[in-house]
């Protein structure tokens, strides 16, 4: 599998999002998915302390303890675990990293990410605490998530000379969700920040799993919650056209979803979750479609066409 760089880290262009671990998958099922992903060439694993109520980190640490040197391990802090464990204060940063290191059964985190901005803490204070972790060897690179272009600029301006700076940002981005194109992607290119898209498959909508006129699969992510806003007539119409477009060229809509994102200059790795070994293997194989300029123009036309 091709690789790209996040700071000093070399990552596979397809990564594995680990938010299903501890929530939809137990420890044994987690191990099966992780092993399948590794065997398929994925080396980038992205989790967070809040995923599965800390179980994702625990299960991932248990599985990767024997293959730690094969992977680039990313996790996040800052989202609320409980009333005490939340935010981005320097004191909490020190506690959060120790907790994650213990759960992940490792002596270093390759990419440590602030899960969301903390309006209560000046970004320079958080960056100072993260820089100390890098200097101590507990963290290799630092990143952020759910940051706007303005917040990225502020963080870059607050980083001290020679100190650790954010080398990545992880925001929602897909062929159906184009908000980063307004200014975040261009800011990433300007600052040399790697962009990591999450929800690249729009919770399964861009896999062909949900089709107009067919019942929503039992137990699926879109059976409730986000389904109300995503399973619309307009989105169904777009998906049907994207399926027809892909299949007419010998590909699948899954391949389109991954390969389209990887045409964006700032995008380094497309992370998607998996609940089975088969899904992990399918995701790993989905990034090989070399889309032409004409195909990219046609995809944009399909997505933006008034309906």
* Euclidean distance between CA atoms 307 and 304, whole angstroms: 9
| CA-wise closest residue to 170 among 207, 210, 141 | 141
Conformational region of residue 223, where left means phi above 0, alpha means psi within -120 to 50, and beta covers everything else: alpha
| Candidate list 51, 92, 112, 198, residue with the active-site label | 51
Cα 177 to chain centroid distance, Å, stands at 14
* Partners of 5 in the β-ladder: 10
CA atoms 209, 213, 214, 220: torsion sign? positive
Pairing type for strands 194-198 and 9-12 reads: unpaired
* Euclidean distance between CA atoms 254 and 259, whole angstroms: 9
- Please report, for residues 2, 4, 40, 191, 221, the alpha-carbon distance to residue 35 in angstroms, rounded to integers and kept in the order given: 19, 21, 9, 35, 24
51 flagged as catalytic: yes
* Euclidean distance between CA atoms 260 and 291, whole angstroms: 7
| CA-wise closest residue to 9 among 147, 108, 152 | 108
Q: Which residues are tagged catalytic? A: 51
């Amino acid at each position: 599998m091709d690789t790209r760089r996040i700071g000093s880290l070399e990552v596979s262009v397809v990564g594995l999002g680990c938010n299903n671990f501890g929530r939809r998958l137990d420890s044994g099922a987690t191990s099966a998915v992780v092993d399948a992903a590794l065997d398929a060439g994925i080396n980038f694993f992205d989790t967070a302390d809040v995923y599965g109520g800390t179980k994702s980190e625990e299960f991932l640490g248990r599985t990767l303890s024997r293959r730690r040197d094969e992977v680039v391990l990313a996790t996040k802090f800052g989202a609320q675990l409980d009333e005490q464990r939340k935010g981005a204060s320097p004191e909490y940063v020190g506690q959060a990293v120790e907790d994650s290191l213990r759960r992940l059964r490792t002596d270093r985190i390759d990419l440590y990410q602030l899960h969301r901005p903390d309006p209560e803490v000046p970004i320079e204070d958080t960056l100072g605490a993260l820089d100390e972790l890098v200097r101590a060897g507990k963290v290799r690179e630092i990143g952020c998530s759910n940051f706007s272009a303005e917040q990225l600029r502020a963080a870059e301006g607050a980083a001290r000379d020679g100190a650790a700076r954010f080398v990545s940002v992880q925001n929602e981005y897909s062929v159906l969700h184009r908000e980063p194109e307004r200014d975040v992607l261009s800011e990433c290119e300007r600052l040399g920040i790697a962009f990591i898209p999450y929800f690249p498959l729009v919770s399964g909508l861009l896999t062909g799993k949900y089709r107009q006129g067919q019942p929503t699969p039992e137990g699926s992510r879109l059976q409730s919650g986000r389904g109300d806003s995503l399973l619309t007539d307009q989105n169904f119409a777009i998906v049907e056209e994207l399926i027809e477009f892909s299949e007419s060229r010998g590909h699948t809509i899954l391949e389109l979803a991954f390969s389209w994102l990887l045409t964006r200059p700032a995008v380094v790795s497309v992370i998607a979750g998996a609940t089975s070994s088969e899904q992990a293997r399918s995701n790993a194989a989905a990034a090989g479609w070399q889309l032409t300029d004409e195909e990219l123009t046609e995809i944009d036309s399909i997505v933006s066409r008034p309906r």
